Structure 1
């Protein structure tokens, strides 16, 4: 016969609760002080405990002050449940359902063995408080949260995620957090499937300054506001992203793998980039260049003009340059800091060109070493010659030259 102990009302005032495991290097797992609680319908039935928590307030040893926790609580040998949960801290309010599933021996490896099932709705989370548990978030920000959680704390899956921050970032999708509470260096990973990630460079990197600030090239700051759809995998060592991005400058489709991301602006990368009606001139701070549509395979390093060094191969379908719209250009070669060494073929209406060689504008002394077969070039239509209405050129150009002004 099970032991049965019912109580209609239980209160605790100014209590202390400590969880200690002497087998650990740091025995004290956590400590609650200033503990005040009131429960009703309290029942101990053998190994099971049930009650209605009307009030539970305490101060956690890590610095979080819980002003009040309310829930329908249940503890059994294989699960612990907080139904109709409402937690209020000094800066946050969390509302929903929370359940832990376990074998009793799993508590010795809580973050890796105990399974979490949770659903949070219309919750308001302070990122400053969240840093107590995972010190990767920005400060002085709030996030409105709706999400379903499952898995262990070190392999936590957030589905139906809908987050809006006070810095106007919105995230809709599914994210898996790996090794959130692992003590191993560089073990954290984030795997995301985004239906909509709306933000800008400054707001998004402020959300998780170290993790996202180290994985998003600073050149993205120039595209303005953006909306991202796709998948990404981020660790301390690499970033894999297959995403569509609608920006203030135009459309980007990216399928890239980045490594050596300690200095993200000088990271290595390999993959494919598609631009559609994208104002690349605004990105390069060059007023002569406007919109482009292109599809390029890339393999190199660097995201700024100064440190760019990459192999490129692909097609430029449209390029607005110097007031003229070029079409049907293919290229293959090495592209660097104001350097191109490779092959360019143009089948534009006003430019038929087969170029092979080097153009180097990286130094004060410019360098040229190329051969160019010009089938046809209408220099007036291309806006290189405006004085004469008819100015055409055909021929073979072979050049090896250096000079200050060319």
Structure 2
């Protein structure tokens, strides 16, 4: 039976249609105008204007077998305008169409769609433009296997124009993107995504920086990329070839990146005013964090520029490995930077606290940081000048500087040896430095020796310091000579401990200073005063009666208190001082 009908201002309850064809949403009423022509199984709907709630549809449509579920369905659509949302569209359309609306379109919110499409029971061919609050999308796609739309297969072209990709995928570091991609694969959601991509990123926001002119070609899956990337952004020029896989608990990286230019400051990775990296990076590692990563990283022909200088490194290799009983070894090899190893059972993020606890364990009142048990580490490194200059540009180490040692955390055991022929730091020069620490040694815990110390104010030589621990107190003795002709001599005895309030106490035992042919004795009486008490923030300092005397009955006395920047009460007395 041929139908010919013209609707100008019609209002239809979908509940009534559902009595004959139960495919539409419940409780919906639509207002429409349209010209109908054909049979029920070959129906043409021209000049359609339909509105319901917040949905509007305009266009020309033809349907084959719309009302015959046993025959192959087909819809040809010339869509002038569809304005709706995911939930409104699914409720309004018959199930045969509504179930094939991709679920990711939920995130678009309210959107407008224009274009052409051919829809069958298990395929879609579409050339459409989508405008939404997130941005604009153009797609020219052929989709198959759409009966499970989230696993549908597709081939074609997708273009994003100023599209908020970060909100769409739920990543706060991502922002807006403009790109053109040819795609071939399957899946619309993260779990089923498996597609080949080839195209151009014209602009993409990441970490508050907009990247431009990036070519991408490769396989894209849920949290996996295997392929080629070339960036011609003005602040990051590189080629990347390889694999980055975040799918499992153990991430895998196997790639080569040739970086011609990368400005970390402009990309908001570094706060320094200048931070530019160049070089080749080869990475083949597996792991989820710094504590379980295993593999190898190689840097070749690398340079790094900061505000002070440009540093060149020919080769730099880092290897992390684990043996059968979880013993970990990190080996570093670079003739320009550092060579050596770190071996043991340790957590990288807790190394700083490991050292602090080992040193602090000599005090009864020390409250250790909480760390994981059974940690120990041995290390031996030879340090070259360049790596220190990069991070601490005011410090220079001489050749053949090395540091080695052992830490056994549960036993509070800490051993360290450091030697350097010379160190330049903040306009000061030190020659022939040796530091030894052994907090379990019954004779001494620390020994420091420096042949010469040249500063802008005062010169020293033959500096020696030794300390030991007795009854929760560190006792120090130091001797050195000073002055332009080294005629001054210093013999100082002092101690350090923590009081019950966890404040540091540094006190002077009986000591003497020979300065400009005048010998002064500090704490001549050997009493318990002559000390300074301060907290860890250094905003509360108490000086208890520091006294110096000489053979001419001259005396200098200092005492007082300071509390941050609001209170100072210092008393300095001179007696017969000329």
Q: TM-score under structure 1 normalisation?
A: 0.70
Q: Could you say which residue in structure 2 is the equivalent of 1:184?
A: 70
* Paired position in structure 1 for 2:140: 255
Q: 1:183 to 1:172 in 2, by over 3 A?
A: closer
Q: Paired residue for 1:362? A: 247
Cα distance between partner residues in 2 of 1:337 and 1:399: 21
Structure 2 residue matching 1:398: 3-state secondary structure: strand
Q: Once the two structures are superposed, what CA deviation does each residue of 1:261-309 show, in whole Å capped at 9, x if it has no partner?
A: 2221111111110000000000110000000000001111111112211
Q: Matched residues in 2 for 1:157 and 1:131: separation?
A: 20
- Structure 1 residue aligned with 2:44: 157
Residue in 2 aligned with 1:317?
202
Pick from 263, 280, 286: which aligns with 1:396? 280
C-alpha distance in 2 between matches for 1:202 and 1:142: 15
SS of alignment partner, residue 137 of structure 1: coil
Aligned to 2:57: 171
2:189 is matched with: 304
Rate the CA distance shift 1:183–1:396 in 2: closer, same or farther, 3 A: closer
C-alpha contact 1:214 1:261 (8 A) present in aligned 2 = no
1:33-72 deviation per Cα after TM superposition (whole angstroms, max 9, x unaligned): xxxxxxxxxxxxxxxxxxxxxxxxxxxxxxxxxxxxxxxx
Distance 2:222 2:69 in 1: 41
Aligned to 2:10: 123
TM superposition shift of 1:317 = 0.3
* 1:229 maps onto 2:114 in alignment: yes
Take 1:183 and 1:264, find their aligned partners in 2: how far apart are those partners?
19
Cα deviation, residue 131, structure 1:
2.0
Give the Å deviation of 1:183.
5.3
CA RMSD in angstroms comes to: 1.2
Match of 1:102? none
> Which residue is 2:561 aligned to?
none
1:145 aligns with 2:28: no
Aligned to 2:180: 295
> What is the DSSP-based 3-state SS (H/G/I as helix, E as strand, rest coil) of the residue aligned with 2:106?
helix
Structure-1 residue corresponding to 2:456: none
Checking the alignment, whether the CA contact within 8 Å between 1:215 and 1:234 is kept in structure 2 is no
**SS at structure 2 position matched to 1:211:** helix
**DSSP 3-state at the match of 2:96:** coil
Question: What residue number does 1:281 align with?
Answer: 166
1:344 aligns with 2:229: yes
For residues 103 and 94 of structure 2, the distance between their equivalents in structure 1, rounded to whole angstroms, comes to 13
Query: Take 1:278 and 1:240, find their aligned partners in 2: how far apart are those partners?
Result: 23
| Maintained 8 Å contact 1:144/1:163 | yes
Aligned length: 290
TM-score, normalised via structure 2 length: 0.49
CA distance in 2, matches of 1:269, 1:393: 40
Counterpart position of 1:6: none
For each residue in 1:300-354, what CA deviation from the matched residue of structure 2 results, as whole angstroms up to 9, or x when unmatched? Answer: 1111112211000000000000010000000000001110000000000100011
Name 1:70's counterpart in structure 2: none
Deviations, residues 357-398 of structure 1 (Å, cap 9, x unaligned): 001111221111111110000011111112x11111111111
Question: Which is bigger in relative contact order (C-alpha 8 A, separation at least 6)?
Answer: 1
**Ranges in structure 1 where 5+ consecutive residues have no aligned partner:** 1-113
Tell me by how many angstroms 1:184 deviates.
2.1
Contact 1:122 1:145 (C-alpha < 8 Å) held by counterparts? yes
Cα distance in 2 for residues equivalent to 1:134 and 1:209: 9
Question: Relative to structure 1, is the Cα distance of residues 217 and 143 closer, same or farther in structure 2, using a 3 angstrom cutoff?
Answer: same
Displacement of 1:240 after TM fit?
A: 1.6
CA shift for structure 1 position 209: 5.5
Offset of 1:163 from its aligned partner?
Answer: 0.2
CA distance in 2, matches of 1:285, 1:403: 24
Q: Hey, what's the Cα distance between the residues in 1 that align with 2:106 and 2:10?
A: 30
Residues in 2 aligned to 1:321 and 1:363: alpha-carbon distance in whole angstroms: 24
